[in-house]
Amino acid sequence: MIFASNFKTNHTRKSTRDYLYRLQELTIKNNLFSKVYIFPPSTALDNFENIAFNIGTQNAYTTQNGAFTGEIGLEQLEEFDIKTILIGHSERREKLFETQDIVSSKFQFFKDQEFDIIYCVGEPIEIREKGDDAVIEYLLAQFEGIDTTYEKLTIAYEPIWAIGTGKSASIKDIENTHKALKKISNKPILYGGSVNAKNIEDIANIDSVDGVLVGSASLDADNFCEIIKNGLK
Ligand code: 13P
């Protein structure tokens, strides 16, 4: 199982450091050896000595450096050995207006740099209400320009209506969607959307779920540790 935590616009530089060392202590104490990814805000990226987790960036611009006000590029990531990125998160697509063209060129750029890419897809509620076929058609469009055979690709299925709502997708919806996504790519598929310490066991038990991408419930290190503990399979 992969356990990924997306901090979004939460945590400071100091609290990120405290979190990582707390999580390290908890995972060692509980013998939780699994694949853990943490995505702090870019202001909190740093060299974390002895941290066993994979630290990634929530976003970056398709450049080494240059005149791109407000963005970070490869030069800033290289300083901290960051080689993992989230691309296509629905919050960037919806709130920051990243089109499929932008998302796919970002994918191509970071693929060329051999980054581990967690590529997010997910449908809005009005599409989910139309049924499974409409969902798959919508998700397929989010793979336009994406190399689904890229060896360092992990897919994250995050239905928009389940993000931050406390209402996770049903086991059946996750199962059906992941099964359909497995036909598009043989890469690991994470589920994201209101995952917590209570529902993780049922979600992790789904065959086609290879891990989870967690927001709110992962912001506290003890809570995230509980999720890892309950979700190991
Ligand atoms: P929540 O766990 O808060 O629903 O967020 C999920 C998510 O968007 C992770 O990227």
What is the distance in A from the centroid of ligand 1 to the CA of 128? 18
Task: Say what the alpha-carbon torsion angle 80, 85, 86, 91 is, to the nearest 10 degrees.
Answer: 50
Q: Whose CA is nearest to atom 5 of ligand 1?
A: 215
At 89, phi and psi to the nearest 5?
Answer: -60, 140
CA 158 to ligand 1 center in whole angstroms = 8
8 A C-beta contact, residue 202 and residue 175: no
214 CA distance to ligand 1 middle (Å) = 5
Catalytic residue among 91, 98, 123, 158: 158
> Among this protein's residues, is 11 annotated catalytic?
no
Residues 71 and 98: beta-carbon distance below 8 Å: no
Quote the CA–CA distance of 198 and 231 in Å, as a whole number: 9
pLDDT value of residue 30: 85
pLDDT tens track for 97-122? 999 999 999 999 999 999 999 999 99
- Name the region of 11 (left: φ>0; alpha: ψ -120 to 50; beta: rest): left
> What is the rounded CA–CA span in Å between residue 19 and residue 33?
17
98, 99, 105, 108 alpha-carbon torsion, rounded to 10°: 90
> Quick check: CB of 87 below 6 Å from ligand 1?
no
pLDDT higher than 80, residue 233: no
How far is C-alpha 23 from the chain's CA centre?
A: 18
Token pair for 9: 């616009």
Instruction: Please state the three-class secondary structure of 173-191 as a single string.
Output: HHHHHHHHHHHHCCCCEEE
CATH number for position 38: 3.20.20.70
Asked whether 23 and 53 are in contact (CB, 8 A), the reply is yes
11 is in which domain, residue-wise? 2-231
CA–CA distance, 133 with 78 (Å, rounded to integer): 42
State pLDDT tens for residues 180-208: 999 999 999 999 999 999 999 999 999 99
Q: pLDDT grade, residue 160 (50/70/90)? A: very high
Q: Amino acid identity of 119?
A: Y
Q: Total structural domains in the chain? A: 1
Summarize pLDDT for 27-46 with one digit per residue, the tens. Answer: 998 888 889 999 999 999 99
